[in-house]
Amino acid sequence: MTNAMRPHAAAFHFIKALSIGIVLGIPLPSAGAALAPQLAITGATIIDGTGKAPLHDGMVLIEDGRITAVGPARAVTVPAGARKLDARGKFVIPGLMDAHVHIVFASLEQLIRYEGRYQDLIFGPVQFTLRNGVTTLFDTWGPREALVKVRDMINAGQAIGSRIYLAGNAVGWGGPFSPDFNATDASRVSAEFVKRTNGTWEQGTGRALLWLPPEQLRPVVREYLRKDIDFLKYAGTSHNTAHFSYPTFSPRQQKVIVEEGRRAGFSVQAHTLSVETLDMAVDAGVDIVAHGDNTGPVASIPDETIRKLVDRKVAVAIRPFRQKFLDDIEAREKANPLPASWGEASFFVGLMKNEKINQRKMIKAGVTTLFSTDGVPVSHAQAASDPGMARFALGEAHFDALVALEEDGMDRMEILKSATSNIAKAYKLDARIGTVEAGKIADLLILDRDPLDSAQNYRSIHAVIKDGKVVDRERLSAAAVSDTD
């Protein structure tokens, strides 16, 4: 469905046709090639994501999309009709996860063009991520209905792509045309469109919530929790760069949100961008802190807060990046200083330097880290011309980010857990996904080279298996978004 990548005028109807095709079961790129009822992966080294020592010459047995047995090849009996996948010399690991992405991060043009059909912006990126081994995405801010639609199509086998879990809005943020994102563009379009679009994102949980005393806030949160979402996220700070350091909810408001999320059985997370908001979120009792490694350009996380994270077992969704990336940004910024409004050119550089310090502190202290990229659809051309964007290239950036963890001193087994079982646990999904164990959904990668030898080896994808079927990677989109978009 490469055409989903070219959403220009002439291609709109074709895309729609394709989407319908998928719905109707027409054999478009799908797992159709692997309909065998049973699959036995034999001979590989199995690194199951639990932290246990690798199992050499192992066997993974899959039935109806689930792992039914894992063990030494000789100890597991392959059922008669099972298809055999010879993986000798290769490595089986759980499918990778990205704990924090935004599959839809639409431009003004896209917001208008795709209104009423934002799902058309989703089909492409989730193919690309699946192709490159990320079998599960956690969407932490996006258009809820469209994400639900594609999530359900994928789960029903009507479309192919990474497994999606979604938060919908980050409670407390306004929509794309609010000052948390791009209020300037609001003046370019009709008030009606602004209202519709912000509403599509906000789902009744926008910035007005900040003004509510705790007991007026509670029913609003409760109502949101009745909608179809997979986990609860709230804004711990603004998203607007110019107000990065500003908290949003008071401690007592945060407590109400966490209580309600808990009561509804959800994993609850906060988005924080400073030491103080990180600390407040932990005090409020969250399961996950998104951007907890980002504490601004001035200060890194004090030991006391690091200890709190460990003691209370709060997971932090971090965004690792390589030192070279930072060096490139710094060089670029020196050559082309940022506009005066930033006060000082080193804002982003300072911020990233602290991010790295914080990541290393957390790794060393044993904070539960969740691997993430904060990925958004970025074209290959954009990533090539703007080094700053490469870091966010959904479906591509995770390869370098995994290597960054290695650079930062994380144990290689921990790296794997950080990108699989840690995430599943923090999102309370460990009964279903995250490890290569009997009973789990069969989302696996087969690598040519050992990821415990080098994090570079995550690139050596031999096969992607999702829901127990071998993915026909060649038929999936080879970009999150086309270069001309």
Minimum separation from the CB atom of position 240 to a copy of itself (A): 7
Minimum separation from the CB atom of position 337 to a copy of itself (A): 7
Cβ pair 208, 242 in contact under 8 A = no
C-alpha to C-alpha distance for 444 and 463, rounded to whole angstroms: 8
- In single-letter form, the type of residue at position 321 comes to F
Q: How many CB atoms lie within 10 A of CB 379?
A: 18
C-alpha to C-alpha distance for 343 and 427, rounded to whole angstroms: 38
CA distances 319 to 23, 183, 332, Å, are 35, 26, 21
Q: Is the CB of 117 or the CB of 360 nearer to a copy of itself?
A: 117
Where b means 16+ CB within 10 Å and e means fewer, 48-83 reads: bbbeeebbeebbbbbbebebbbbeebeebebeeebe
Q: Is the CB of 275 or the CB of 471 nearer to a copy of itself?
A: 275
Q: Is the CB of 27 or the CB of 339 nearer to a copy of itself?
A: 339
Q: Is the CB of 53 or the CB of 340 nearer to a copy of itself?
A: 340
Minimum separation from the CB atom of position 437 to a copy of itself (A): 41
Q: Is the CB of 217 or the CB of 394 nearer to a copy of itself?
A: 217
Minimum separation from the CB atom of position 192 to a copy of itself (A): 6
Rounded to the nearest 5°, which phi and psi values hold at 318?
-100, 160
Q: Is the CB of 199 or the CB of 366 nearer to a copy of itself?
A: 199
CA distances 39 to 48, 76, 162, 442, Å, are 17, 13, 20, 10
SS3 state of residue 362: helix
Cβ pair 315, 287 in contact under 8 A = yes
Q: Is the CB of 212 or the CB of 478 nearer to a copy of itself?
A: 212
Q: Is the CB of 276 or the CB of 414 nearer to a copy of itself?
A: 276
DSSP characters for 232-273?
EEEESB-SSGGGTT-B-S-HHHHHHHHHHHHHTT--EEEE--
Q: Is the CB of 193 or the CB of 454 nearer to a copy of itself?
A: 193
Minimum separation from the CB atom of position 90 to a copy of itself (A): 42
Q: Is the CB of 33 or the CB of 310 nearer to a copy of itself?
A: 310
Q: How buried is residue 353: exposed, middle or buried, by Cβ count under 10 Å (0-12/13-18/19+)?
A: middle
Minimum separation from the CB atom of position 399 to a copy of itself (A): 26
Minimum separation from the CB atom of position 226 to a copy of itself (A): 21
Minimum separation from the CB atom of position 166 to a copy of itself (A): 21
CA distances 297 to 290, 333, 390, Å, are 17, 15, 21
Minimum separation from the CB atom of position 484 to a copy of itself (A): 6
DSSP characters for 40-64?
EEEEEEE--SSSPPPEEEEEEEEET
Q: How buried is residue 204: exposed, middle or buried, by Cβ count under 10 Å (0-12/13-18/19+)?
A: middle
Which helix (H) or strand (E) element contains residue 318? Answer: strand 315-318
Minimum separation from the CB atom of position 329 to a copy of itself (A): 16
